[in-house]
Chain A
Amino acid sequence: MNHSVPYRQAPAADQLFDGDRVHRDVYLDPQVFDLECERLFARGWVYVGHASQVPNPGDFITTWIARLPVIMIRQPDGQIQVLPNRCAHKGAMIVSQPSGNAGKLLRCPYHAWTYRLDGSTLGIPLRAGYEGSRLLQTEAAQGLERLASETYRGFVFARAAPEGLPFREYFGDMLSVLDNLADRSPQGELRIAGGSLRSVIACNWKMYIENVVDAVHPISTHESAWQTARDAAQGWPDETPLPTELAQLLPFGSGHDFYRDAGARVHAHGHCILGIRGSIHSGYAPVPGYEESLQAALGEARTKAVLAFTPQNSVLFPTLALKSSPQTLRIVRPLDVGRTLVEIFALEPVGAPPELLRRTLTYNRLVFSPASIVAHDDIHVFETMQRALVHRGNPWVSLHREHHGEERELPAEASGNSELPMRNFYRAWSALMATD
């Protein structure tokens, strides 16, 4: 093993994952980031938003898929489309508000080119001036070319590349995670509720995703948080129920055996579920009346199955992290090679007791806020990795934990302490990063 590879002789982008370790360039190299924007984020099905954010025709939200600004907009016929937020004329952003209603058409603030809500060109002022020119033969006259998009149980995904894996094939059984979330509502309906928290971290987006499916670090990294919670809970009178926040913090002290037994499962195309048999979320007190309301809607068997699924996290490759209980949705958005935005949302199961949304909002505030005493230690670690990996030394980052041999058969289960989720992630990453 040659560990003294000079920095500049790193392998090609799709060779940066070595089966059980990954080259630091995946986190550090701006050219790799450029390729991710061009290939990975274009070819994968990326979560854009939720149908509940655009209830009426003309309603829109704006966001980004890596470097591509997009508009997610409700059509007059009720469909949701995802359009590039970039005028076909000179590239101005058509819409600059985070959300709103566009009325009947989209109108560029620069030269007033207009588009229907589906992105097709409506009007080009001074059209006569383009006669005899090549405009109509160019892409500029083709309107806002909508992205391939699919909405599943309200979750809207888009693929910027015109070609790629069909939606159902890409996600496979992972769609059951979305079903589980939606079925937590007696009406089968979710609603993004209570606003979103936004945390920016000076690290590469993949460090954050790996951490989402890492069960080994909480006991060490978050010791200051769980130990403090444990000390506070010591003196708590037995008859008084613990406040929600203590109940949510204490399990961060769970030991390695707990996570090992909770297990993990990886799926084709980079997805995974950490905690297939349970997690730090499995021990919360039930909410009065909730189970009964679900049983009325789903029947006893399905209710039992839905409520039993409480993973630590599910990751829908590349950048969507979901909890099932609480109903937390995180988008991990790459801003730059060393800068990542995490957007944290709460999904309200419509028709369920209000306590469910409150618990989710409490958890998000406690664990994902920029002021979270749990997030602080993760952010610290990521930011030191981003700074320290640059310097001379071993350029390879270990993903060896519980690597026992060939890992081709999918889906596959492993112990919750395995780094199989990360290896599986990078296998999918390498596949999408390959040249055509």
Chain B
Amino acid sequence: MNVSNATREALAEFIYEEARLLDEKRLDQWQDLFTSDGVYWIPLGCDQQDPVDHASITYEDRLLLKLRIDRLQQPRAYSQQPASRCLHVLQLPRLEGADGRMYRMRTPMIYCEARGDEQWTYAAVARHELVPHEDTFRIRLKRVDLLNGDAPLPAIQLFP
């Protein structure tokens, strides 16, 4: 792949920053990282290719992301009393491929969510499709394959 080291570094930086926005609950800034046709997808299984004719844990366009984020602010979002927190612990995001000006990234990670007295830990691989935007990037697809996506899962309230 003919991608410069500077670009690879910038791509990785972007993904670290994206995770930080989520961990700091800067969700309006986070959703603006997506393109207008961007999608956030948590499939049921890592082999899953189809988000339309197959179940997924989430499959959200900009509208649904906005609904989810706005709902977190609702005074009567009872499942957020108390509020959840999250932390992403990432391996170095690596470039898997580039199709023209779209970069495919792969980032194994540990995602933790905490609420009240409990904490849940998930292993996952995040795959991003990033396109250049001004001097940074935008997310066309963020796909998160949980290691145990097809296991019985408790409520996942924030964003792996």
Tell me the A residues contacting B by CB distance below 8 Å.
193-202, 221, 223-225, 227-229, 231-232, 243, 245-246, 249, 341, 344, 346, 354, 357-358, 361, 364-365, 369-371, 373, 375-377, 379-381
Contacts and interface: CB of A to CB of B under 8 A. Distances in A.
16 contacts: A194-B53, A200-B153, A228-B74, A231-B70, A232-B67, A243-B63, A361-B52, A361-B54, A370-B153, A370-B155, A371-B57, A373-B67, A375-B155, A376-B155, A379-B79, A380-B155
Contacts of B74: 223-224, 227-228
Given A364-B55, A370-B155, A371-B156, 19 more contacts: A199-B153, A201-B154, A224-B74, A227-B76, A228-B67, A228-B70, A228-B74, A229-B67, A232-B63, A243-B63, A246-B63, A344-B55, A354-B53, A365-B55, A365-B58, A371-B42, A376-B157, A377-B79, A381-B78
A379 B156 CA distance: 11
Interface of B: 42, 44-45, 48, 52-59, 63-64, 66-68, 70-71, 74, 76-81, 150-157
Given A193-B53, A198-B151, A361-B53, A373 B71 contact: yes
Contacts of B70: 228, 231-232
B44 A197 contact: yes
Contact of B152 (A194, A198, A246, A357): A198
Contact of B63 (A201, A223, A245, A370): A245
A245 B65 CA distance: 12
Contacts of B68: 373
A330 to B, nearest CB: 13
A376 B72 CA distance: 11
Contacts of B57: 197, 365, 369-371
B71 A365 contact: no
A341 B42 contact: no
Given A194-B54, A224-B71, A379-B79, A365 B59 contact: yes
A228 B153 contact: no
Contacts of B71: 224-225, 228, 373
Nearest to B69: A228
B55 A197 contact: yes
A321 to B, nearest CB: 17
A365 B68 CA distance: 13
B75 to A, nearest CB: 8
Contact of A195 (B44, B58, B67): B44
Nearest to A339: B152
A202 B71 CA distance: 23
Nearest 5 A/B pairs, CB to CB: A224-B74, A376-B79, A200-B152, A380-B79, A224-B77
A197 B150 CA distance: 7
Given A224-B76, A228-B74, A357-B53, A198 B153 contact: yes
A224 B56 CA distance: 22
A202 B53 CA distance: 30
A198 B78 CA distance: 22
Contacts of B58: 365, 369, 371
Contacts of B155: 199, 370-371, 375-376, 379-380
Nearest to B54: A194
Nearest to B53: A194
B111 to A, nearest CB: 12
Contacts of B56: 365, 369
Contacts of A229: 67
Contact of A377 (B55, B66, B77, B151): B77
Contacts of A357: 53
A155 to B, nearest CB: 20
A196 B52 contact: no
Contacts of A377: 77-79
A232, A341, A358, A371: which has the most chain B beta carbons within 10 Å? A371
